[in-house]
Every structure is written in structure tokens, then in C-alpha cells.
A and B are shown apart, each in its own frame.
Chain A
Amino acid sequence: MAAAGAIGARKTYGEGDTAVQALDGITVNFERARFTAIMGPSGSGKSTLMHCLAGLDQLSEGRVFVGDTFLDSLSDSQLTELRRDQIGFVFQSYNLIPTLSAAENITLPMDLAGRKPDKEWVDRIVDTVHLSDRLSHRPSELSGGQQQRVAIARALASQPEIVFADEPTGNLDSRSGSEILQFMRGAVDNLGQTIVMVTHDPGAAAYAHRVVFLADGKIVHELSNPTADVVLDTMKYLGD
């Protein structure tokens, strides 16, 4: 059973001679309770794929779905609700609203929906990411790693169908980065969360259950339960 996926996804930017195929017919499923990494060089279409899956961008052709909903049938406000209720986001940078405290940032999607957060669940998440003593702090009072943990807590707090992470460790030092990745893997293994992560760091990809390799808008390779070395080798191989 897939938490999200794409069927024949194409995305074209521009028209005529200058047209660029960002996605060139991608069909992929992301299984529930699995941690999937999407890898590929710059311009391979990995971010575009994620944006389309998350309802932030629209396909030129083909369909994407989250849970049992096909996104192409949704209006803008339905997409907004979908993002709010069924999708969690972790970005590389600018992940938090600077004027809100850590706690407020974590419950932001639920506050936007006007829903009461599930207190037990939120507490459990907060414990898992070791943020209990930082809840009243503003983002500017937190380290980069702590900020990213808050972002993950926010993504998980509303128990979404799927979490998309776009280079979540890109701006962090390696220690904070591996901490974040451990949390993400833990969320999948222990809480049954589905996570899709875009990265170009083989070390990060090694935390995933599965790695999907993209190049020129196509899926060119897949690995299961990879190690960093295998990923690196695969990248070298694909790069040649």
C-alpha cells in the first residue's frame, strides 16, 4: 500500500525550443512506513518531483496521489488543506516562523486548521527529538540542529500521511545532520511514519530504506537498504 506516488509524471518548463523536461515520465510509489531517499545530480528533477508530490507544483502530464487522493482533481484551497492535514514538510533552510516559539511552530499546521493538537502525541514527538526544555524559545535562540528538530517535530506532529524533506541536513554540521537523520529513521521505524527525502549526500541517503536515483527527469536506478559506500559507488557509476 503506497502513501504517495506518481504515475507517468511529466513536467515541462518553457515552450518550443527552450522547453526543458524536468520530469520525463516518472512512475513511482512510496510505501507506507518506509524512509525513501531521492537522489540525483542538480537538475535531475528530484526537487520538482517532490514539489509536485506535495501539491506545491503542478504536473504537465500524468498524475500524483497522496493517500487515496489524486492531486490533479483538487482546487487550490483543497491542496492547501491537503498540505496542512496530510503532508509534513522539512526544508533545508528557513523552516520556522521566526516570530513563533518552538511550541507554536510545532503545532502551527493544526492551529491553522483550527484543530486541537493531540497532546500525548505531540509530547511524545517533542520527547523523541529532545526539545522539551526548548519549547518556549524563539527560532533565533536555537542552534541550526535544534531548529531542524523543531521542523521535524512540526512535520510529524499532525500525523501526516507522508513527510517530505528537502535536503534537511544541507545546512547542518555533520554531527547535527546525523542526529536529524537518526530521528527521521526512528520516526519511520518506531512511529510508522512515511518519509520521502531529497538529498545529494550519500551519507544521508544511507539512513533510508530505499534510494531512488533520478537523472534528466527519469528514474535511472534504485537501491534497497543502502550503505553510504554503495550509494557513492552507484552515483559514480551513474555519473559516468
Chain B
Amino acid sequence: MIRVTIRSLLAHKWRLVTTSIAIVLAIAFLSGTQILGGILDDSIRGLIGNVYSGYDSVVRSPDVQEAAFGEFRAPISAEAVVDSSGVEGARLAYGVVESANIQLIGKDGKVTGGGIGPPTLVMNWIDDPMRPGTLADGRGPTANDEIAIDFKGAEEQGWELGESIEIATQEGAEQYTIVGFVGLGDEANKTAGAQPVFFTDEVARSTAKLGDQYNYVAVSAKDGVSQDELASQLAEANPDLQVLTGEAFTEENQDAVAQFVGILTSVVSIFGFIALVVSTFIIYNTFSIIVAQRTRETALLRAIGARRRQVILSTLVEALIVGLVASVVGLVLGALLASALVTLLSSFFSLETGIPSIGASVIVNSLLVGLVVTTLSAIIPAIRSSRIPPIAALSEVSLDKSGMSWSRRVWGLVFLFAGIALTALGLTSTLKPELYYVGAGLLAILISVAVVLGPLLARPAAMTIAWPFGNRRGNVTAVLASENAARNPRRTAATAAALTVGVTLVSVIAVLATSVKSSVDDEIQGAFGGVDLIVSAGNFSFLGIPSEVSDSADEIDGVDIVSPVGFTFMRILDESLESESDTGAEEPAEDDVPVIGIPDDAPSGEDVVSNAIDPDTYFRIVDMGDLQGDPETLGSESLIARQSVAEDNGWDIGDTIPVYFAATGTQNLTLGLTYTDALGPGDDFYLPLETMRPNSLPGFDIDFADYIKLDNDADRDAVVAELDALVADRPDVTVQDREEFIESQTEFIDVFVNIVYALLALAVIIALIGIANTLSLSVMERTKEFGLLRAVGMSRGQLRRTIRLEAVIVAVFGTVLGIVIGIAFAAALSSALAAGEPGLVTFKLPWTQLAVIVVLAAFAGVVAAIIPARRAANMDVLAAIATD
């Protein structure tokens, strides 16, 4: 029996290849992601380990705050350096400046890395190997206008030793001379992606606004003193501070990056799993068709004595072999993919290149997933094949006759309702984690579509889609194409469903992105009605704009109001929070790194990023809905909160709310004002600048942007020109009008959407391979029919057109179903989001985009039909009509 299976596989090598392709691609994607993740993790751990290899212990402040983009810790006094160097085991104590508030200006006059890449860091030079990085060339800075920088960044810019470059700081731009290049590793030839810039200690501290403080103190041990011994000595000498061993500090930093890589890997893996789901449909479909086509053969085997179990087993073994071959090929392909990506990424930071080492877990996972998915997909067809009665060997070849049994309808409806219920539960957030429920719900709905809805809709859909091509109006190719698409509704539906999966997700993303963009647009247009110009350094900059810009701008003729805005990190203490859900902020992460001395010691609460504004001007140009309280009363100890947040926590105007700042500890602020509308969903708190400035960490007391209102009769162009002149030495600062501002606030949505599309492309491509595969099998099945058509005078062209149109029908059918489900999902999602956060999403359909998707699908159908159509057109008419 096994021999029959293997012979059958070998006899249909091409079918083996096309069936495997889907699994091969999915496995390649999954294993490639895992392998790449492993390489990134290893490389980054190695690099970070290298950066801090000279630190035997670290002394730092226990005051820390978390934000979505990192941890922000208070600096410590320079005295700690003295105290630390005094302990017995210390060889050298290094007060470290490590801050992200500069940008290098390249030869093109723009900031390097476009201002969004890995950070450019202010660091202070110490003439000792304990410092992060090794001199590759030149020397360290000794004069205040000298710097040493990362060799890789310099290489990219073509900077040489002795060259003078401009650096943008919070004050403006200043000239520095490059005197040294640093790198990582023993040969100083590696880079970690970040761009360290070493200044003299004095310049580094003033640039980072540290005054007589340091971000932390790193200590190198004397020979023979262990890190633990040193750390406990340091803890005694610095009773108010936190002490970590160098290893713990390194690990903390490694984990932070590794966690990011891990999240990235799992997010990307999701798309691999989507591709896998699509592959399941295709394998199920292929095996269903194969089993149907083999009816006589199977019946013959049964007639001569094969047991049912043997029949099932033979199909499963076939699936197993397909799965095994596909997984192995996929794994190899994944490794190649990963090494190609590594080469690509190596231009950004140093990675282990060459043949990637594949961990055993990746191999086991890939093989297991490939085998299990393929075999499971073939189970139903296998069982079906075992039900073929021996008598079928003697009757006419009966092809895949697909009917709709009652049990099928019932199961389909069960899946449909289960899917809707799961999705609804997931969306209403009564269950956690929501995403799994939504995902499972979506899958259940798609299965019901493939099993019940699809087959029921296949005929009417085929007729409708073929209509523009002349269906039932005498165009026989259109009639044949639509009839062929409709003759096996189950097959058509399963084939289309594979495409539906990808298109559903594409549509959800497209609709949500459009909705979010349109609501952002509405919000900004509405709230910013009084703002004519915005001066800012971009969304991701810690530089802000020079503080004198707001004063100077006020002097410009034609400017009515200038309102500077900033931001700060703060923690709303648990004691004043009644409900936990509304601020949308992260709970501070548990610190599992062993610390000695004082642990991270802040009262617990929710860390938020608060906006900081000037109450005198802000409310005159920005509409924040209904205000309660008096802006005039806001001072240096005031808090402004969203009204719904205040209500949820039972706060009234005039209440004292304790708020924790990493820089200054807990401050009792007074709730002075509430508002109903803010720009972003997370904008739940505002502080007056007067409150923000004294409580900021060094370097964060900045003007993030200036909002400007012009006089009615102002010469806009002239004002813009004068503003441009004000920030001429800061290429990262731009002057935008409201439309440009909206665009800059939404462009990341487009970037995000495009990345998701690129990742979903895999699922769509696999689905198209599925269409091609099904069509090829159908063509073989209809050999006699096509032979007859050719005999009675159908030209090759007409035959090709018929098959092409059939593919278009299936593709458009799957796509339209996907779009409909996608829209429904997006509507559900956006209403769920809107329930939690009014105004976050205004539901809007991107009609053009959806239309383009349908057209693309039709075109993709044409592409998928190329090989089957050619095969049908080239078949030997005589062989096709020959009676056996």
C-alpha cells in the first residue's frame, strides 16, 4: 500500500511541487524569522556586552520612570563619583554622561540617519579602557571643541580625522573637530548601530544639561576584586543610591533590546502563521481534488481487498511525505532568507554573517509545524476517500460532486456564530488577551465561509462576476468560465477562501488606516483651527527647538500668538487612581535584575507622558472642547486632566493629586482644569510649562514645538521665511502649516500600513499559487471536455480565455468576500475602539483603495491562470477525445 502511495507521488512530481510550494513558503517565512531573530539576539547581546565590558559595577539613582520607548532615570550628583572611587575595591570611578539630545549634521546639511534611526548619544570621554568602545584611530577629545565619534557613522558621511563638523544641540548648532574614531570589539571594528559622540567631560555635561551631575557612575574594580565585592562596598559608600554589578547592568540592557527583538520576531511570525492558515486551505483543497480524481483507483484497491484504514493511511502517508519534503525545503529557504537579511542589516550594525547556525528548536518547530499542518489538512480528504465503495471502480468516473449536506450547513453556521461571538467577546475586551479571541473568531468565520457561505455564494457570484464579460449573452467563453467556476462550489469556495484570508486582513488594515487618518485629520483641523504654523523638530526628537525661538517668533511682524509646548514623564500614583483602565499607560515593569542597596523606589502608579503647555496662550488657539476650571489659576503646581479621567477617578477641580517625577519625587499638584477633547487618544494629562520645567529630568526641559497663530492680515510667506531664518542652524527643525503638520502626524500610519501589506503579500501569493494549483488539477480533470470543445471548433485562444476568466472569477470572488468580511471587522473594531475612546476612529471606507484591490485580484487571477491555461490549450485534442 505504501508502495502505491510512493508510486503515485512519483508519477505526479509536478503536483507534489505545486502542493508543497504553499507550505514551503510559509515554513521558510517562519523559520527565516526565527533564525534571523536568533542571530539578531546573539549579535546584539554580544555588542552590548562589549559596550559595557569595562564596567564592574554601576551606581545610579533609584528614581526611574518607564515610557513606551524606554526607561528614564534621574541623574546623580558628581559626589557619587568621589564616594565611589574611595571604596577599597575600586580602581577607577567614571561618572558617565549618556544622553540622546544631539544630532550630527551631515555633509548634505541634514541630520544623520534622518533623525529617526538609532540614537545619537552624548557621551563623556575618559582616558581609560573601561569606557564603552575602543579607539580605532586618532585620540580622545582633550579640548572643548574636540570629539571622538563612531567610525561607522563617520565612514558613511566620509568624515576624516581633523575634519570640522556641525552638531545640533538644544541651543542651536556648534562646530567640533573630529580627533578620534571609536568602535567596539578588540579591533574596534564593530558598531552597535547607535552613534556615540564623545565630548570632553565639561562639554558633555553641559550639552546633556546635567550641570554637576552624571547619568550614572561606572566603577572598575581592582585586580582580584570580584564584581559582587565591589558592588557591596559601593552600596555602603552610597547609601541613597542603587548599585548593580556590571554583569547585571549589561544583562538589563541586553534584555531590553532582546525583548524588543523578541516582540518584533513574534509580530512578524504572526504573518507566517497567517500564511500557514492559507496553506492549510490549499493543501486541503488539493488533497480533496486528488482523492476525487482517484476515485476509480481507490475503488479498485478496495475491490481487490484494501481495507479502509489502508486507504486512509495511504493518503496520510502521501501528505506526510509532502509535508516533510516541504518543511525541509522551507527550512533551507528560511536559512537563506535569514542570511540575506543579515547581510542587508549588516550595513546598519555589526552582525554575525556567514552561514547562520540553525538552532535545534527552529528545526524541530519547522518540521513539526510543516508535518502537522499538512497531515491535518489531509485528514478529511483521506476519510472521504476511504468511504468510496468498491463498486465505484466499475461505474463511470464520478468526479468531485459537491453537494451541501445538512450537517455541513449546520457546522458552517456553528462556526459562523462561534466566530462572530468570539470576535465580539474579544472586541468588547471582557476577555484577555483580546487579540487571540479576535484571531480565533476571524479564523472560525473564514472556515464557515469556506465551508458553507462560500459554496452557497459560489454560483451567484460566478454568474455576477462573469456578467461584464458577456455571460448568458452569447459569449460562450464567459458562460463556460462561470459554469466551470460554479460547478464545484466547494472547491471554488475553498480555493477562494485562501485568498479571502489575506484580503480580509488587507481590508481591515486599509479601512482602519483610512479611518484613523481621517479622524486625525478631523481632530487636528477641528482643534487646531486657530493654529496657522507649527515649528517642530519632528515626532521622535529629544532635542526640541531652541527655547529662544518662541520669544523671537513673537517679535515677527504678522505673528499674533506663539504658544510653546513640551512634554514630561510622570506617574499618577495608585492612591489617587480609582480605576486602572483609563489612562492607557503601562504599569511599570517589574525589575528582575538583582540590585544592591536601594531598589527602584518610587510609589507605584501609572507612568504617563504628559503634554506641557503655556496656559496663557494655548487655550486661545487650540480648542480642547469644554473646559472646566480657570486657565488663569494654573501655576507651578497645577495639573490638567481629561474630564472623563477626572470623573472616573472622582477628582474635582481644586483637588490635590500627588504625582511622581523621577527628577523631583512626589509633588502635590492641584487639578486646575479639565477638558473634553484632546488630539491623541493617550493625551489624558497636561501640565503648565511652569509645572513641567522644574520637575523635568535634565535635557527634557525643552520646547517640543511652537504653535503659531498669525494676524488676519499677515503675510504668511514672509513670516515663514523669517521663522525659517530663526532655525536656520537646526536642519531638523521645520516650519509647517496645518496641512503639512497633519501629514507629518499621519505619515507613520502609511509606513506601518505598507509594512503590513508587504508582510501579508506572502499569504496572498500562497493563495494565488493555490488558485493556479486547483485550476491545473481541474484542467486535468476536464481533459475530455476541453478535447470536445477543441474538436467542435474552440480555438486555443478561446480555451485560454475561458480558463483565465475562471481564475479571475475565483480570485475576485475570494477578494470581494475578503473585503466584505474585512469591512465588517474594521467596523466592529472601530466601534469597539470608539466605545472606549470617542473620536479615536471615525469609520471611513477607502473606496478607491478597495476598488484597486479588486482590480489587482482580477489581474492576479490572470497571472495564476497562465500555466493551467497554457496546459489546457496545448493538450492533444486527439488524446483528449479518444475513448478508452
Residues of A at under 8 Å CB distance from B?
Answer: 51, 54, 56-57, 76-77, 80-81, 83-85, 87, 89, 91-100, 104, 108-109, 111-113, 154, 166-167
Contact = CB atoms under 8 A, between A and B. Distances in A.
A81 B798 CA distance: 12
Nearest to A58: B878
B785 interface: yes
B788 A112 contact: no
Nearest to A92: B883
Given A99-B483, A104-B479, A94 B784 contact: yes
A76 B796 contact: yes
Nearest to B487: A99
Contact of B480 (A77, A89, A93, A99): A99
Contact of B792 (A57, A93, A104, A154): A154
B881 A91 contact: yes
7 contacts: A81-B795, A97-B480, A108-B792, A109-B793, A111-B474, A112-B792, A154-B792
B789 interface: yes
Nearest to B472: A104
Nearest to A158: B793
B792 A89 contact: yes
Contact of A83 (B487, B784, B793, B883): B793
B784 A89 contact: no
B794 interface: yes
B785 A97 contact: yes
B878 A51 contact: yes
Contacts of B487: 98-99
Contacts of A57: 878
A77 B476 contact: no
Nearest to A93: B883
A89 B479 contact: no
A166 B796 CA distance: 23
Nearest to B789: A97
Interface residues of B, number: 26
Interface of B: 474-476, 479-480, 483-484, 486-487, 784-785, 788-798, 877-878, 881, 883
A41 B878 CA distance: 20
A106 to B, nearest CB: 11
A177 B487 CA distance: 30
Q: B interface, by DSSP: helix, strand, loop or mixed?
A: helix
A188 to B, nearest CB: 20
Given A51-B878, A80-B793, A154-B792, A98 B474 contact: no
A77 B796 contact: yes
A100 B878 contact: no
A99 B795 CA distance: 19
Contacts of A77: 795-797
Which of B486, B790, B881 lies at the interface centre, i.e. has the most chain A CB atoms within 10 A of its CB? B881
Contacts of B484: 99
Given A99-B484, A112-B476, A56 B881 contact: yes
Contacts of B480: 97, 99-100
Which of B475, B487, B877 lies at the interface centre, i.e. has the most chain A CB atoms within 10 A of its CB? B877
A91 B791 CA distance: 10
Contacts of B789: 97, 108, 112
Contacts of A54: 791
Contacts of A80: 790, 793-796
A97 B878 contact: no
Nearest to B482: A99
A89 B787 CA distance: 12
Given A56-B878, A77-B795, A94-B785, 7 more contacts: A54-B791, A77-B797, A89-B791, A89-B792, A91-B791, A94-B784, A109-B793
A56 B789 CA distance: 12
A101 to B, nearest CB: 10
Contacts of B792: 83-84, 89, 108-109, 112, 154
A100 B794 CA distance: 15
B479 A100 contact: yes
Nearest to B791: A89
A167 B884 CA distance: 13
Which of A80, A95, A96, A113 lies at the interface centre, i.e. has the most chain B CB atoms within 10 A of its CB? A80
Contacts of B476: 104, 108, 111-112
Contact of B793 (A51, A76, A84, A95): A84
B880 to A, nearest CB: 9
A202 to B, nearest CB: 20
Contacts of A95: 788
Nearest to B480: A99
Contacts of A81: 793, 795
B877 A56 contact: yes
A100 B474 contact: no
- Nearest 5 CB-CB pairings of A with B: A84-B793, A99-B483, A111-B476, A83-B793, A80-B795
Contacts of B797: 77
A91 B475 CA distance: 25
Contacts of A154: 792
B504 to A, nearest CB: 30
Contacts of B479: 99-100, 104, 111
A66 to B, nearest CB: 13
Contacts of B785: 94, 97-98
A76 B790 CA distance: 11
A56 B791 contact: yes
A95 B792 CA distance: 10
A97 B484 CA distance: 10
A100 B483 CA distance: 8
A60 to B, nearest CB: 15
Contacts of A51: 878
A76 to B, nearest CB: 7
Contacts of B877: 56
Nearest to B788: A94
